[in-house]
Amino acid sequence: MGKLNLDQKLIDSSRSAAARIADQVQEFIDAHTTVSTERAVLRLFGIDGEDQDKVPMPNVVVDQIHDEGKLGRGISYYLGNAMIETGMSPQEIAEDVAAGNLNLLELKEHPLEEVKEKIFELAKERMKVVDAARDKRKEYIDRVGEGEQPWLYVIVATGNIYEDIVQAKSAALEGADIVAVIRTTGQSLLDFVPYHAPTGGFGGTYATQENFRLMREALDEVAEREGGKYVRICNYCSGLCMPEIAAMGAMERLDVMLNDALYGILFRDINMQRTLVDQYFSRVINGYAGIIINTGEDNYLTTADAFEEAHTVLASQYMNEQFALKAGLPEEQMGLGHCFEMDPDITNGFVYELAQAQMARQIFPDAPLKYMPPTKFMTGNIIRGHIQDALFNIVSIITKQGLQLLGMWTEAVHTPHLHDRYLGIENAEYIFNNMRDLGDEIEFKAGGMMEQRAHEVMDKADDLLVQIEKDGIFKTIEEGKFGDVKRARDGGKGLEGVAKKTEGYFNPFITLMLGREDA
């Protein structure tokens, strides 16, 4: 395809500024941990279940340490020390803590190196669970194959995992490549992850390890059918439990996770310090497990004007890329987000949308970009809505997007029915088949409207990144420069769950997954 003539020096400048911003943030991350990060460590060690009050065991154990202000040493030390002192397994230790029979802070302390040796031995064994899931994914893809990008990405959102499974299997048989199980309203604000398979979700279904297991099993059944293909599962690695959900997904072979560095801060009012620390470990886990992340830049343009604020999307993509690289996540697993959300009454709106999608494709050539459908200006006119979705699909195939969240013609009417999803898939398949190689056959006019639009967005994004580097990410968010949403550094939910690391802190899973000895 004749590419837009983009200024490579400007791209390099923006990427360098984003890298320096990520360096600044990493200094803060490396100095802190959180309750959810430490709970994720316990989940990876295999601690499971609830106490008599239905409090998850990882919460019970971490809270015993955190309530005494000692979490900065890291849960791994206390767990390893207890294993040496008591001879019990992690699960037995958690159950004794829950029963009130064991206080990890009152045990005799063993030397740090002895504790680390014990913990790393167990961590290496537990990593085999994640390794097996990653290998199984590869085996399936090698054996039954997968769809061609852009992958057709649909959602289910019944609130009941068993009904979700029926809808997910139906979508897979209709041609979907990715099925996302929308998470129940408000779960991102829970500072724990429920167990079992709760069925009473509102607007979506609870993300639990059991629900992950059930959905994985169901979609594997589709893959095993004659003519089947591997269908990826997506869920939401966001909110107050980002690392825990990443750990659950890694063990149960999820394939895609919503995972944005800023989304929870801006749109769920979760404390920025908490989120920036949590997103790091969650991305380390996702990177190691071979899980593609989806970032949430599209959400900026549901609150701000898509034409005027497009540069904030690009700036955030640059930063999400750098945060992901810090966590060892390869570009091939970065589903950087953008969307088709301009007011359809703008003259040449389609031309501008095409320019921005092509710009993103060229700036991030190895990323499986996640392209979001029109929602903001869906009116309930289903015929017009179907046309809007078709225009969105045309942009996607021309610019070779990676993950295509399909629009639904009834977007502004109700939660999609099965036949609505079928028509959304049919729309995309028709356009993708008929325009498969169109992008390779056309060229962009040098100095034309599309090239000028791309340059305008890139210039503004670079200016914004330079300003963020100067001011710092915390001040930038406080001033509302993303999505017109302002958040305070010490405000929001979850700040009480942040702890400053003390001497001797270690996280064996970051060390093993990433090779960082100072983790």
Sign of the alpha-carbon torsion through 233, 237, 241, 245: positive
Least Cα distance to 451 among 369, 354, 309, 347 occurs for 354
Cis peptide upstream of residue 90 (ω within 30 degrees of 0):
no
* Measured distance CA(419)–CA(407) in Å, rounded: 13
- 422 catalytic residue (yes or no): no
Using an 8 Å Cβ cutoff, are 36 and 23 in contact?
no
Q: Which of 177, 191, 255, 298 is catalytic?
A: 298
Q: Which of 118, 326, 370, 493 is catalytic?
A: 370
59's tokens: 């919460």
* Measured distance CA(264)–CA(277) in Å, rounded: 12
Least Cα distance to 439 among 6, 150, 178 occurs for 150
Least Cα distance to 361 among 348, 352, 370 occurs for 370
- 298 catalytic residue (yes or no): yes
400 CB-contact burial (10 Å; exposed 0-12 / middle 13-18 / buried 19+): middle
* Measured distance CA(154)–CA(180) in Å, rounded: 6
* Measured distance CA(466)–CA(13) in Å, rounded: 9
Using an 8 Å Cβ cutoff, are 176 and 426 in contact?
no
Amino acid at 115: V
DSSP state of 444: P
The end-to-end CA distance of the chain, in Å, is 44
3-state SS string over 45-89? CCCCCECCCCCEHHHHHHHHHHCCCCHHHCHHHHHHHHHHHHCCC
CA distances from 319 to 213, 292, 469 (A): 32, 17, 11
* Measured distance CA(477)–CA(43) in Å, rounded: 32
* Measured distance CA(455)–CA(256) in Å, rounded: 31
Least Cα distance to 324 among 269, 356, 285, 297 occurs for 285
189 CB-contact burial (10 Å; exposed 0-12 / middle 13-18 / buried 19+): middle
3-state SS string over 231-242? CEEEEECCHHHH
Q: Which of 206, 263, 300, 352 is catalytic?
A: 263
- 263 catalytic residue (yes or no): yes
Which sequence positions are flagged as catalytic? 263, 298, 370
